[in-house]
Amino acid sequence: MPNDPPPTLLAAIGRRGFLLTAWPWRAVGFLLSTVPVVLTAGMPLVLLGLPWLLAVSPDATLGERAFLGVLGALLIAGLGPPATIPLAWLERRRLRLVDARPTRSGHRRPPDRGFGSWLRTRYTEPATWRELGYFLLLAVVVPVVYTALLSALVFLLGAITSPLILLGGDGPMALGPVKVATAEAALPYAIAGLALLPALPYLPALIAVAHAVLARALLQSGSGERLQAELVEVARSRARLVDAFEAERRRIERDLHDGAQQRLLSLTMKLGIARVDLPPGSPAAGSVADAHQEAKQLMTELRELVHGIHPRVLTDRGLEAALGELADRSPLAVTVEADLPGRPPRQVESTAYFAAAEALTNAAKHSGAGRAGVAARWAGGVLTLEITDDGAGGADPGRGTGLTGLADRVAVIDGRLLVSSPAGGPTLVRVELPCGLNDPSSG
């Protein structure tokens, strides 16, 4: 809204009545408070950079200058951040004098609370070196800019008061490059100085604006860094969720296999024994026979459920054996070609298995295929799985063929799903899963 207070000094300068607000005074306060900050940061930096001052000595040899230059850089890079990091925290809060917008630090949170972890994090992140560069820049620029500002103020004050000074006959008087000897000669300069007086507050305000822009650019986290940090956290959260999901799936599979399945097996055996002991053709024998048949059917369904949650062969013997069992259980005629020099990581192995199972299920249900093939290769840090079928093709994720869910499952571990399914077939589903850290072929 036009009547809302401006959030920054830069926005306030462009509005009417700027001189009647508190912004000019805030700009002056910001510039004055910069001096102790620069002195506090400048003293240790000057001491650390003392070899640089010695390097420019005319008595120093070329080799000594090179050595002193490298030594100064190492001292500032090694010992400068401990001095500038707390001052950067102060600068972000002092920036509120001329910029009310929030300023976030670009520092990352160390992985643990140890001092070594903190030190390693600070010295390996860009924010630390931006802060060091900020204070090095201030140490060089502030003396020059403030000297120029003070000279301009002295010149303006001298021009305004020059006629009064020259009335006493103390001339000539220097006004910059010009010398005036009488009050009459100084009068035009005094009038010009009075005319420029209302513009005087804008000069420190503009310097404060430039300083604030520099501080915000170097002392706060950039959008790219925030996005990168968020992506890293998302990736870590996703990995934790995948681990938790796999652990829960294994727990359910173990409980069903060792608990419900064993009790159901015992029940089936007891019903079989009871069926033998009852007289054939009696009503009780018929009821027990029906119960026995239903128990065996339920046993089969529970076995299929356990297998769908996490097949035991995948845990015990690995992906290659699990793909072979998957081919045997498929209604299609499936051939398996696997070239796996070792066992992939558990997450990759599980994802590859269920991707193959989903692709074969889709082929059997939707494509009208009679034959299919599964090929698995592991090289170059990537596990590649290809599932082909001789069906009618036309696989489309938008028609609910399960490819969308398969793509989501693959993407969880940064994998890639490629599908080629022209009308009339054949269909090729290619899954690429990165697992370079445990690649046995890399050794």
Per domain, the residue ranges of the chain are 9-219, 239-309, 318-442
The pLDDT value given to residue 442: 43
Q: What is the pLDDT along the chain (443 residues), one digit of tens a residue?
A: 456 678 888 888 888 888 888 999 999 999 999 999 888 888 888 888 888 878 777 877 888 888 888 888 888 888 888 888 888 888 999 999 998 888 888 887 787 777 888 888 888 888 889 999 999 899 889 999 999 999 888 888 888 888 888 876 666 777 777 788 777 887 888 888 888 888 888 999 999 999 999 998 888 865 445 555 555 555 555 556 556 656 666 666 665 656 666 676 677 777 777 767 777 767 777 777 777 777 666 666 556 555 555 677 777 788 888 888 888 888 888 888 887 887 888 888 888 888 888 888 888 887 778 888 999 888 878 888 898 888 887 776 656 556 777 777 787 777 888 888 888 878 888 888 887 544 444 44
3-state secondary structure of 103: coil
CA distance 270 to 299: 14
- End-to-end CA separation in angstroms for the chain: 65
User: Rounded to the nearest 10 degrees, what angle do helices 126-167 and 23-48 cross at?
Assistant: 120
Model pLDDT, residue 343? 82
Task: Write down the pLDDT at residue 77.
Answer: 86
CB 210 within 8 A of CB 142: no
CA-to-CA distance for 180 and 163, rounded, in angstroms?
10
User: Cβ neighbours of residue 428 under 8 Å, at least 6 residues apart?
Assistant: 386, 387, 388, 418, 419, 420, 421
Length of the chain: 443
Tokens of 408: 């989501």
Q: How far is CA 73 from the centre of its chain?
A: 30
Q: What are phi and psi of 368, to 5 degrees?
A: 70, 25
pLDDT at 208: 92
Structure tokens at 114: 């140890």
Place of tokens 């009821």: 287
pTM: 0.52
- C-alpha to C-alpha distance for 261 and 301, rounded to whole angstroms: 10
Is 334 within 8 Å of 357 (Cβ atoms)? no
Please state, in angstroms and rounded to a whole number, the distance separating the CA atoms of residues 391 and 364.
9
pLDDT in the model for residue 207: 92
The DSSP result for 284-315, as a single string, is HHHHHHHHHHHHHHHHHHHHHHHHHH--HHHH
CATH number listed for the domain at residues 318-442: 3.30.565.10
